[in-house]
A and B are shown apart, each in its own frame.
Chain A
Amino acid sequence: MSETAVRAPTEFEGVVRPHLEYLYALAVRLCGHRTVAEDLVQDALLRAFRGFPRLRNRERPRFWLTRVLTSCHYDRYRAEHGADEMLRLDSEACPDLFDKITEEDPFPYSDRVHLDFLALFDDARVIEVFQGLHPVYRTALILAYVYGYKAREIADITGKSVGTVLARLFRGRKQMERELWEYAQSTGLIAQKEALV
């Protein structure tokens, strides 16, 4: 056994261990299940270890681990739902919440319709709707808004162009708006609000 082979496991563990909590939290946010998240982190650790000898820039291990974990997450999704499911998104229409609100006018006296609309939902419901978004949207939104990665960094993490990342952020938010709107209509939240005005 070479000296490199003996040293690599210890070095790998030293590099990765400080990021375990981060990886787990990211995994939970990506997949929405604590048990699945643990499996996902294990997948990522295995893949990261295999790639560790080829890792040149070891000054940003968290960024590298994020890329590995995200890739594992996508692979799991493809295995469960098929590769085509990842490609179908660009043809989706992007409804606009503001247009909907303007058309249907559920808050006729409001100057802050977007916020009044969001105020209909408690945080748990918003998170539930968020978990229902397509993973490519959810991933982009989480990396950008929870972890503060820039679009070009997300492009690097996901292996997509910056333009694609910006489109996914935009479409993800639009999908979120649509889902919230449909929920508000189906549950009578908007009608209840109107009744209160």
Chain B
Amino acid sequence: MIKCKEAVSRLWAYLDRNIDRIHEAELEEHLGLCRHCCGELEFAKQMRTMLLGSGSASEITPDIRTRLGTFLKDVGKQRGRKR
């Protein structure tokens, strides 16, 4: 059976369904027997959910969108003129 260090290193790939079947089977065998790593998995899942749920504070407002849009347009113009 794989060791805890190896199991923990695969946890996020496992959560993201980005792991091959052999590694997945090894990890699940480990998780079935190891209370420590089950805790790691639950914590990882919950933390990811919390981070994903924090998106509202990062949404762009109309005035910021306008300012950045203007800046983007000006970047090209100013840099183009300098050439």
Instruction: List residues of chain A with CB under 8 Å of any chain B CB.
Output: 1-2, 5-6, 8-10, 12-13, 16-17, 20-21, 24-26, 28-29, 34, 37-38, 41-42, 45-46, 49-50, 97-98, 112-115, 117-118, 123, 126-127, 130, 141-142, 144-146, 148, 150-151, 166, 169-170, 173, 176-177
Instruction: Name the residue in B18, B53, B58 with the highest tally of chain A Cβ atoms < 10 Å from its Cβ.
Output: B58
Identify which of residues 29-52 in chain B touch chain A, using a CB-to-CB cut-off of 8 Å.
36, 39-40, 42-44, 46-48, 50-52
Give 8 A-B pairs besides A25-B60, A28-B58, A130-B54 with Cβ atoms closer than 8 angstroms.
Answer: A1-B83, A6-B80, A13-B76, A38-B68, A118-B46, A123-B50, A150-B16, A166-B9
Name the contact of A114 in the complex, choosing from B39, B50, B75, B80 (C-beta under 8 A): B39
Residues of chain A within 8 A (CB-CB) of B83 are 1-2, 5
Name the contact of B47 in the complex, choosing from A1, A21, A42, A118 (C-beta under 8 A): A118
* Cβ B53 vs Cβ A29 within 8 A: no
A124 to chain B, nearest CB (A): 9
Contact A130/B51 with A13-B76, A16-B72, A20-B68 known, Cβ cut-off 8 Å: yes
B65 on the A face (CB < 8 A): yes
Task: Give the bracket for the number of chain B residues in contact with chain A.
Answer: 35 or more
Give the CA-CA distance A26 to B13 in the complex, in Å: 22
Contact A145/B51 with A49-B76, A115-B43 known, Cβ cut-off 8 Å: yes
Residues of chain A within 8 A (CB-CB) of B20 are none
Name the contact of A20 in the complex, choosing from B53, B65, B76 (C-beta under 8 A): B65
Residues of chain B within 8 A (CB-CB) of A177 are 43
Contact A49/B75 with A20-B68, A145-B51 known, Cβ cut-off 8 Å: yes
B14 on the A face (CB < 8 A): no
Name the contact of A38 in the complex, choosing from B54, B67, B79 (C-beta under 8 A): B67
- In the complex, what residue of chain B is closest to A146 when comparing beta carbons? B51
